[in-house]
Amino acid sequence: MKTQYQPDTVSPPGESLADTLDMLGMSQADLSDRSGLAEKTISQIVNGKAPITEGTALALERVLGTPARFWLAREARYREFLARAQEEEIKESHAEWARVFPYKKMADMGWVAAASKAGDKALNLLKFYGVNDKDCWKNLWECPQAAFRQTTRTGKKTEVISAWLRRGEIEAQKQQIPDYDEKGFREVVVSLRELTTEEDPNKFMPEIQRLCAGVGVKFLVVRELPALGVYGVTRWLAGAPVIQQSLLLKSHDHFWFTFFHEAKHVLQRVKKGVFLEGKALENQDQEREDEANRFSGDLLIPPRAYREFIQGGKLTQPAIRAFAKKINTHPGIVVGRLMRDKKLDYGHPAQRMQVRFKWAE
């Protein structure tokens, strides 16, 4: 098997230029007079501080007789050597940084190329994030401009959350949509409630994406990473609102509650700022979270109808099915609400009415 030779060092083309001048008995000042190149520029080339451009190579060919392709080839080899040396330096300096990411899982899902060495992982991660180095990554991701709906049970690991968010960015960039239409989106959100009776995500998720895209909102579901802890997020990317969801709890009622929660954040038009559920929030951010929760809960189950149902005292499975049919929603959504409100115990037989999702392997 043939392997490509990679030299340990490559001299700058300026050394060849200095040797040629010595051989011809020509000084740098003489070359400047004959070529029209500034003497400072020639000195910088000789000392490897300035590149040989196409124009310079042609001037050297006319004055020295050495073909321009020789100078350009020497310059290209030298610049490639410098680039590879810099890449090796990045591998070494970023290896420890790369080890904190869930790299294997990201590779298994096709987000990054498979790699075993930390240095190679680092380069692949920089490419995945679209950044030049780890400092650029920190500036972009240690305080992302997003509003999350997430659990309180897991630690908030920046590397995991940022990877999931970045994957969403990549997917969102593929969607071509018109400008955001707030009035149209309000109408779409209300109309989408009818889909809550549909159990098959392969039917209702594409419809959500289609209708949202029609009014300038990008909707996507991105597979969660271990310890992600995020149900959904709302962001504005390149002027367009983006709703990104995981299937963290993989249940029908959680999915729809999260969607309408994030839809309310879009309608709030908060394009900057971060507020995480379960964390101490600024008053205004907490108000927005509470408002989004109320909006989602009330849209799924009208408050007055829900109060009357609870007051009726019959929380049997047949009664739940009848109530769900009356308000035109899925009974699993009603069960989820009853459990969250502690009207039913978790593990109650009615829990079987909830629909569970799973990712296709």
Inter-helix orientation angle 283-300/252-268, to 10°: 130
Q: Is the pLDDT of residue 162 over 60?
A: yes
pLDDT at position 27, please?
95
Q: Look-up: residue for tokens 């109309």?
A: 191
Within the chain, residue ranges assigned H as helices are 13-24, 28-35, 39-46, 54-64, 68-98, 103-108, 118-129, 134-141, 158-173, 182-192, 201-214, 252-268, 283-300, 303-312, 317-326, 331-340
Considering only CA atoms, give the Rg of the chain.
Answer: 30
- What is the distance between the alpha carbons of residues 42 and 49, in angstroms, rounded to a whole number? 10
Q: What phi, psi does 245 have (nearest 5°)?
A: -125, 155
pLDDT tens for each residue of 206-229: 999 999 999 999 999 999 898 888
Query: Which two structure tokens, joined as six digits, stand for 1?
Result: 């098997």
What integer is the mean pLDDT of 46-70? 94
SS3 assignment, position 294: helix
Specify whether the CB–CB gap between 163 and 226 falls below 8 A.
no
- In angstroms, the Cα distances linking 123 to 118, 140, 165, 228, 310 are 9, 17, 19, 23, 57
Separation in Å, CA 52 to CA 38, 97, 109, 117, 328: 13, 36, 44, 36, 73
Local confidence band at 166 (pLDDT 50, 70, 90 cut-offs) = very high
Q: Is the pTM of this model over 0.85?
A: no
CA distance 264 to 271: 13
210: three-class secondary structure by DSSP: helix
The DSSP result for 1-14, as a single string, is: -------S----HH
Res. 277 pLDDT band, cuts 50 70 90: very low
Round to the nearest angstrom and report the end-to-end CA distance of the chain.
Answer: 37
Q: Among 8-12, 223-227, 301-305, where is mean pLDDT lowest? A: 8-12
Is residue 145 scored above 80 in pLDDT?
A: no
At residue 353, the 3 state secondary structure works out as helix
| Rounded Cα–Cα distance for residues 342 and 54 (Å) | 76
Q: How far apart are CA 240 and CA 233, in angstroms?
A: 14
